[in-house]
Structure 1
Amino acid sequence: MHYVQPISVRHIDWLRHQAMQIVAAKLSRAEPPLRREIVEYMLDVDYHMWSLRRSKANFFRIMSLLSGISYVCRWFDGICYWKNPLTTILVHVLFLILVCYPELILPTIFLYLFVIGLWNYRFRPRVPPHMDARLSQAENTHPDELDEEFDTFPTSRPTDIVRMRYDRLRSVAGRVQTVIGDLATQGERALSILSWRDPRATAIFIIFSLIWAVFLYVTPFQVVAVLIGLYILRHPRFRSKMPSVPVNFFKRLPARTDSLL
């Protein structure tokens, strides 16, 4: 029923609040009684409230998730620039084998995941998870940030403190605004390729797409894959320090930043 007629976010918040009220009222009559603040904290009632400490914790959680992707990118960059020639040659051989026998791609991926799972079995957690002060950014939190987190809504602090926190929030929001603007710019550039916002860029792209369509139609896919792979893994002697043509072309595409006030 919840999948056919899902509950809206507003009603979910209302149900969460009502459930918290019931649990808090019941535990307040227990022996020993449990205070309402503890129940609210354990049930994450204020999960939607602003907290600089929690924002930092979530940011570092995202960075921890992206660290694996960053490691793979650095490893692949080392392969492309031949920092370890033996590893690069082995990658070339593996790439050619997978291109010649594409039916081995999926078995190789799942076998690799199986080996990683067995390897990580040695480092499996031995104890149940517990509150992590370092993960929560509680060790390096400024007292004013904690005071802001435990402040009531609406605030009950003096005007000077509220003004200082507002300025700090503006600086943090400015960085977020810059990142969101950059993402929007890249998306608008991608959409402007076929929108004829820049007639020359769109004409070049559609002509290039037609040439690629004919080339891919008359050329076997394995040959195309080998050519692209060898081009990506080429030796640094054949590389240029200048940006590649596709990157330069993409950066010159128009965006709607000039139309903003």
Structure 2
Amino acid sequence: MLAVWMGTQADEAFSEAWHSDSASFVENGGALNIRSKVYVSPKLWYLRVNIIEAQDVRPDSRNHRPELFVKAQINNQVHKTRFCPLTANANLLWNEEFMFVAAEPFEDQLVLTIEDRVSPVKDEVLGRLALPLSVFEKRLDHKPIVHSRWFDLEKFGLGLFEDDARREMRFASRIHLRVCLEGAYHVMDEAMVYVSDTQPTSRQLWKPPVGVLELGILGAKNLVPMKARGKTDAYCVARHGQKWVRTRTVIGSFSPDWNEQYTWDVFDPCTVITIAVFDNCNLSAVGRDSRIGKIRIRLSTLQSGKVHTKSYPLLVLQPSAATGVHKMGELQLSVRFTCISYANMIHLYSEPLLPKMHYVHPFTMGEISSLRRQTIGIIAARLGRAEPPLRKEVIEYMLDGDEQLWSLRRSKANFFRIMALLSGAIGAIGWFREVCRWSKPITTVLVHVLFLILVRCPELILPTVFMYMVVIGVWRYRGRPRGPAGGRVGGQSG
């Protein structure tokens, strides 16, 4: 029997019909792992927890000096306060603040426990409180004051009239908290240099899109064998903003053709789209998908309305020092950015990159790194539930989950970036020394004439500086990049 399907990617039957030619090559339910799919990241919130104080806390043990602290936990995110000595009236004061990451729908609870450090290896729980995240108010600005609340703690002790093996619950202590969900922050899941989205959590604060990004994933060429039997089952993953896309898996081909097209709304042109290629290792058994390579395209380098079709090298840094950077093949892409509002796009350049809350109440670098790791874990857990799942190793590679690891190559690259940043100041100092030494008499005379004019007419200093900046900007605008960096166009270097 022969079945023929004719249609486009917009049809509902596309995902089933498009992979039917490869379904016969997989077994043990592996056909579910070769389909194309569009994913959406969960809506993420920052949860601010301010642990103020506790009252009527009575340690059960009298044989040691009480060292009490509060442990706050959401799933695998754990924070602890400092140790606080117990006063005569059984009150404790901490006034410490912690940040968590939570995802909608709110399935987890905020669990608070007051514990006593009985020994270096043992903590005794004196009270416990579990609160669903949906009970906390959502703050969309830094101005509203979040009101604090008292909560009763559940204390578990031995029952007086029951069997000693059973426990009864009695309310004795209480804790003072100030908790809110922050909707004016952008929850960071990427490094700032490769950010693909800067919108705050709350959609009420979103601005209208300034353009549309269209990505055509054409195919790949000259991929290296990734499996022991000399095969490669490649698929491609692209991510921009909250939207992830995954192409179908092409079985046993070193030059797969995908020919799939996807679109994104663009809210800021100063963002990046990330595209990576993986080898599917879950067709017949469960395994980790292997990395083939990854590229990034800055939207600010795309000329509006123009289709950029290029082949990009897929490079992977091997752990072996002898191998280093290895080319795994080439990825063929077609990209077009269409601006729908030049006025809104120009207005974006007059505003900071991140929402206002990041500058009013900024995080430390340690907090940003910790929250980012927690965010990556939440996204990986949620997208891993889909069919086909977007696996944890894929999410971590796309979002640079191992960025905190030290690398000699990354250190060298950062050093050269710093030197490039300071090269202008170093060049200006060298030029000033040449002027002082009369290495170029004509230049020195002109500088002295300009200096005398500015001394005579100091009101011309600022106009002269601004004119110089405008002239330099116009001059460099002529040589601006008119397409994405890297890649080859029609077989020639782009």
* TM-score normalized with structure 1 length: 0.45
> Could you say which structure has the greater relative contact order, defined with CA pairs below 8 angstroms and 6 or more residues apart?
1
Between structures 1 and 2, the one with greater helix share: 1
Look at both structures and tell me which one has the larger radius of gyration over its CA atoms. Answer: 2
The structure with the greater share of residues assigned to strand is: 2
